[in-house]
Amino acid sequence: MTKAMGESEQALAWVEVGQGAALATVIETWGSAPRRVGAQLVVSGKGEMQGSVSGGCVEGAVVVEAMEVLEDGGTRVLEYGVSDGDAFAVGLACGGTIRILVEPVGPQGMPVDMLRDLVAARAARVAVAYEVALDGSARALAYEGHEDRHRMDRSGVTEDGSTFIAVHNPPLRLAIVGGVHIAQALVVMARTAGFDTIVIDPREAFGSPARFPDTRLINDWPDVALKDLGLDLRTALVLLTHDPKLDDPAIHAAVQSDTFYIGALGSTRTHAKRIERLRAAGVSEENIARIHGPVGLNIGASGPAEIAVSILAQILQVLRQG
């Protein structure tokens, strides 16, 4: 499967073919603004665009500003709200206000080499923060020093109002062990929610392209697959086979990792037996407590699709609330 490029990757691609690119980033919001801080729109020198800073409300005006920045250079901070007639006319949510930083890629904006380093960090799943002075006077990439922002996935302006910190965490991933019916529904939902999805199943009849089109498949034993894949703070793991031969090795790999979520399918009785096996194998109570079993929020789900909803909801709950 070929993954769609993020805004940073698209900006670099346009720069490298000589089109140029400008980045527009939401730096502050008030009221009912439709996009969160850190949302981006990238515009090429030909007027092409990818991403969004307002869900379509003010994109046209921002593209005009971006094209001017590409022509004239410099950095601009834009503000749109219901008091702005143009913004209101295109439907900015009632009571909403957004501030947007627009900067070109190049000598008078974000250096091309800095953008390359940022894209490389994302590809290597390395967390990085982009620090940019709102007057355009200074820019830097920081690989440490913003741990709280990375943990909360929260970009924002510094307290003195002079600098914007754009958090670039590795993309979210969901690794699913077991190519069952629930997995088929969960893959589609998780992808819509922004997760890269991987299905792991040594049984090729289950983990097949016919069952999971456009999905990364690993037909290997879960512990081997997860070791090669790597489990980090931006990866969730869901076990759907309720077969100890497949689930238990995956759990042992997961509890020794930084994965932010571990969920295992099965009844309360099945999970109790799972806990007994883990204790006998020497897994600590602290690590056992990390496992969500039975998996998913208790919403009375019935059928694979509803169970998938409950699982994704629980994953997001853990991600956003801890």
**Is residue 217 one of the residues assigned to a domain?**
yes
Q: Check residue 174 and give left, alpha or beta (phi > 0: left; psi -120 to 50: alpha).
A: beta
Which amino acid appears at position 194 of this protein?
Answer: G
Provide the mean pLDDT of the chain: 91
Examine the pLDDT at 2 and tell me if it is beyond 50: no
Q: Do 259 and 116 have their domain in common? A: no
Q: How far apart are CA 244 and CA 277, in angstroms?
A: 9
Examine the pLDDT at 1 and tell me if it is beyond 50: no
- Note the pLDDT tens digit of each residue in 93-118: 555 788 999 999 999 899 999 999 99
Residue 95: the pLDDT is: 54
Q: Do 188 and 305 have their domain in common? A: yes
**Is residue 317 one of the residues assigned to a domain?**
yes
**Is residue 144 one of the residues assigned to a domain?**
yes
Bridge-based pairing of strands 49-51 and 40-44 is antiparallel
Token pair 């143009």 in the structure block, residue: 86
Examine the pLDDT at 134 and tell me if it is beyond 60: yes
Q: Which of 168, 183, 201 is the last residue of a domain?
A: 168
Predicted model pTM = 0.75
Residue 231: the pLDDT is: 92
Q: Do 214 and 141 have their domain in common? A: no
Q: Do 146 and 194 have their domain in common? A: no
Q: Do 135 and 203 have their domain in common? A: no
Q: Total structural domains in the chain?
A: 2
Q: Do 115 and 182 have their domain in common? A: no
**Is residue 1 one of the residues assigned to a domain?**
no
% of the chain exceeding 90 in pLDDT: 78
Residue 290: the pLDDT is: 95
User: Which CA distances in Å does 6 have to 34, 211, 257?
Assistant: 19, 27, 27
Q: Do 26 and 147 have their domain in common? A: yes
The CB density around residue 136, as the number of other CB atoms within 10 Å, is 18
CA 47 to centroid of chain Cα atoms: 26
- For the chain, strand residue ranges (E) read 21-30, 40-44, 49-51, 76-81, 97-104, 128-133, 139-142, 156-157, 163-168, 173-177, 196-200, 216-218, 235-239, 261-264, 291-292
**Is residue 291 one of the residues assigned to a domain?**
yes
Residue 86: the pLDDT is: 52
Token pair 């741990």 in the structure block, residue: 147
Hey, is 264 helix, strand or coil?
Answer: strand
Q: Do 177 and 315 have their domain in common? A: yes
Token pair 């008030």 in the structure block, residue: 30
Q: Do 29 and 56 have their domain in common? A: yes
Q: Which domain range does residue 97 map to?
A: 7-168
Q: Do 113 and 212 have their domain in common? A: no
Contact 114, 107 (CB under 8 A): no
Token pair 């890629």 in the structure block, residue: 105
Q: Do 188 and 149 have their domain in common? A: no
